[in-house]
Structure 1
Amino acid sequence: MNKENDFFPKDFEFEKLVKKARKRSIIKMVLISLGISLIVLFGLYFIGDTVMKTKMEKETDSDSTWNKIMGANIENRGTEYNYSLTSATAKTTFVKVVGGVPIPWGEQEKVFNMLGSSHPISNDGPSGFGYSDDERIPLYYEGERVVEFFHPQVNYKQIFDDRVLLNEIHENTVVEMAFSFDDGYSIEEVNKVFKEQLSWYWVDTYSENDIESDNQHNADENFRDDPIYGFEAFGFSYNRSAEDYSATNFISILKQMKEEGGNYQGDAEKIINNITNQGKIKLEPQNLKIIGVVVTGKPSDLIKFSDESMIRGATLGATTDLY
């Protein structure tokens, strides 16, 4: 007798159709899943790329704006962007203009990723070399001297006057020099004296606590005096074609940084409070106290300030050949 299955003979054609349909179904599901995955991946990539670019644009704009008021006689000459698959790099170039001659003043690089974070990857700072018992250890950056300032209300063991060096510098050289004042002066008072060689104003942005802290530090015989280096000073450039604009722009930047938030909000708010004495006076150009300047020119142009009574200290900065 035949087996039970012999009563139901197999339909091989039908089985082939079923297998074929099953195979097509699997392939279709795989293709759909792959398509959905690619759409999701591309969507996530697009979102991440958009977040990265938005973050980069906002942060570099903020950095660029802040750099307009921080750093003595340092100018931002633009930012270059380089993109990779999952990140981007922003490289900003700086210069000093000394007697009309631009001097390279380093670069700052930041890398941004698709997670919306950023960090600096190169930001070389100034350095100095010497011994602990040396009277003075100047800082250098890009092979040039970094200017130093002395606050009028801070006591120092020694305040340097580099104006004596002007007689030793060749007349075909252009020089940057920082003058620290004995008091706070108005913009108009400063312009009357330094206008012809003026390049940058140093604004008094310090609180009573800042001054007290510096005085305590300088009073300690175990420590060197703590001058204010050019890269940490706040102020604004002198604009020959629009003298009133620079001070107004300085104030506008502080207000903008305070309102926008971000990395500089706290510093902007502190500076505004210090300038206005915690809101007791208005944040206006006429209320800015100028406690120093950066002047540039040939040695003979700067020697005329040798006997200027408002100058408390003078430090040499960058120098370069005129031709």
Structure 2
Amino acid sequence: MNDFSNDFFDEKKIKKAVRRGKLKTIITVIIISIVVFVVLNIANSAISAHYSQKAFKQWDAYVRLSTPNGYISETVDSKAILGGVSNYEISKDFKIKSVVIERKQYSFGLISSVLTSRGSGGKIGITGEEWQFGYKENGWREMMFFHPNVSYKKYKDDEELIERMQGDKIYEVALSFNQPYKPSELFIQLPEMTWFWVDTYSSEQLNEFQQEAKENDWSSTFIREKEALGFSINAPYISIHDLEGDYEQFLELLQMSISSNHQNAFNKMKDIKLEDVEILGAVVYGTKDELEEILENPYVKASSLGGVIENY
């Protein structure tokens, strides 16, 4: 009985047992912490990857719609907790080669990061004596469009500017038509187009454009490049049937885009068949001599020079 009591209350054994218990507790806590850390990191990576891919599709749709022949060519993600920031490059497909025109960023995830934006590019004509167009980060002009159902005080005409250009370069020019055209009508008149400007505007928007054109100075009343929605032509435009796939993709991009304005445009366009779509303008690429013939056509109401690349 005494031996049992002495062994039970042995101080050394008690301390040893306590130390062993603490060690087991510490090991258990470490193992649980590592498991929790790994699980949370895997979950965070999975959630971030999901929202990163979703955001990429939304922003790429926005770029393809609002930048003629543009697309996101590269993204680099910086992941945080349940989200992150993506730095991306916008490139423009000139058909003979692609050129990076801008670098921007967007946030994604359940917890959106705060983005700080600093100005880039620039604008001219703020006095009202010259057109108030803007520049892209790479120095190219932002193209200007003029709706054929709006009466403007003045229309942009860059034909003389292009004629003064030197060298055998490829020029990007936005054309605004004198009236809306159906795709079948354009096939007869201008097969050299690379991008169509589609009439996605509501009657309220048209009234707003007309009011601005009436009340404001001519130098600021036009539709900016990012406000002109359209779609690229991925193959030579031979007939209206060649555009069916491009138009279907256009509708999908409208529905997918991050912009609420694009969602509104989708609601307007979703029940309109390709043959009933109204084309308001186009973007063409060509040398000075090739563009000269196009710009002299009577259906071209306005022309606006965009990018310029070397012809190689």
> Shorter chain as normaliser: what TM range?
0.7 to 0.9
Matches of 2:139 and 2:189, distance apart in 1:
30
Deviations 1:202-258 (A, max 9, x none): 001101100111111222246853311223321111233576454533334434653
Structure ID, larger Rg: 1
Q: Which residue of 2 aligns with 1:231?
A: 226
Secondary structure at 2:154 match in 1 = coil
Q: Which residue of 2 aligns with 1:288?
A: 277
Q: Which residue of 2 aligns with 1:75?
A: 71
Counterpart AA for 2:175:
F
Higher mean Cα deviation, 103-112 or 185-194? 103-112
Q: Which residue of 1 aligns with 2:261?
A: 267
Deviations 1:101-146 (A, max 9, x none): 4332112323556x55356566966421344142323322111121
User: Relative to structure 1, is the Cα distance of residues 181 and 119 closer, same or farther in structure 2, using a 3 angstrom cutoff?
Assistant: farther
Matches of 2:86 and 2:206, distance apart in 1:
36
TM-score w.r.t. length of structure 2: 0.84
Secondary structure at 2:66 match in 1 = coil
Matches of 1:221 and 1:84, distance apart in 2:
45
Q: Which residue of 2 aligns with 1:250?
A: 247
User: Relative to structure 1, is the Cα distance of residues 222 and 251 closer, same or farther in structure 2, using a 3 angstrom cutoff?
Assistant: same
Is the CA contact (8 Å cut-off) linking 2:62 and 2:258 kept in structure 1?
A: no
Counterpart AA for 2:296:
D
Q: Which residue of 2 aligns with 1:302?
A: 291
Counterpart AA for 1:270:
N
Counterpart AA for 1:303:
E
Q: 1:15 aligns with which of 5, 11, 22?
A: 11
Is the CA contact (8 Å cut-off) linking 2:195 and 2:230 kept in structure 1?
A: yes
Counterpart AA for 2:306:
G
Is the CA contact (8 Å cut-off) linking 1:217 and 1:223 kept in structure 2?
A: no
Q: Percent identity?
A: 23
Is the CA contact (8 Å cut-off) linking 1:93 and 1:107 kept in structure 2?
A: yes
Is the CA contact (8 Å cut-off) linking 1:162 and 1:314 kept in structure 2?
A: yes
Deviations 1:147-175 (A, max 9, x none): 10001112222111111223212241211
Is the CA contact (8 Å cut-off) linking 2:62 and 2:253 kept in structure 1?
A: no
TM-score w.r.t. length of structure 1: 0.81
Is the CA contact (8 Å cut-off) linking 1:108 and 1:123 kept in structure 2?
A: no
Tell me, which stretches of 5 or more residues in structure 1 are unaligned? 1-8, 277-281
Tell me, which stretches of 5 or more residues in structure 2 are unaligned? none
Matches of 1:99 and 1:296, distance apart in 2:
9
Deviations 1:28-75 (A, max 9, x none): 122222322332232222211211111101211232234333222323
Q: Which residue of 1 aligns with 2:301?
A: 312
Q: Which residue of 2 aligns with 1:117?
A: 112
User: Relative to structure 1, is the Cα distance of residues 180 and 41 closer, same or farther in structure 2, using a 3 angstrom cutoff?
Assistant: same
Matches of 1:11 and 1:166, distance apart in 2:
103
Matches of 2:165 and 2:303, distance apart in 1:
15
Secondary structure at 2:295 match in 1 = coil
User: Relative to structure 1, is the Cα distance of residues 121 and 53 closer, same or farther in structure 2, using a 3 angstrom cutoff?
Assistant: farther
Matches of 1:296 and 1:194, distance apart in 2:
12
| Residue correspondence of structure 1 range 73-222 to structure 2 within 5 A | 73-77=69-73, 79-82=74-77, 89-98=85-94, 100-112=96-108, 115-117=110-112, 126-141=121-136, 142-196=138-192, 198-221=193-216
Is the CA contact (8 Å cut-off) linking 1:95 and 1:105 kept in structure 2?
A: yes
Q: 1:37 aligns with which of 18, 33, 40?
A: 33
Counterpart AA for 1:274:
K
Matches of 2:27 and 2:166, distance apart in 1:
77
User: Relative to structure 1, is the Cα distance of residues 95 and 122 closer, same or farther in structure 2, using a 3 angstrom cutoff?
Assistant: farther
Is the CA contact (8 Å cut-off) linking 2:153 and 2:213 kept in structure 1?
A: yes
Matches of 2:144 and 2:7, distance apart in 1:
97
User: Relative to structure 1, is the Cα distance of residues 321 and 219 closer, same or farther in structure 2, using a 3 angstrom cutoff?
Assistant: same
Is the CA contact (8 Å cut-off) linking 2:157 and 2:302 kept in structure 1?
A: yes
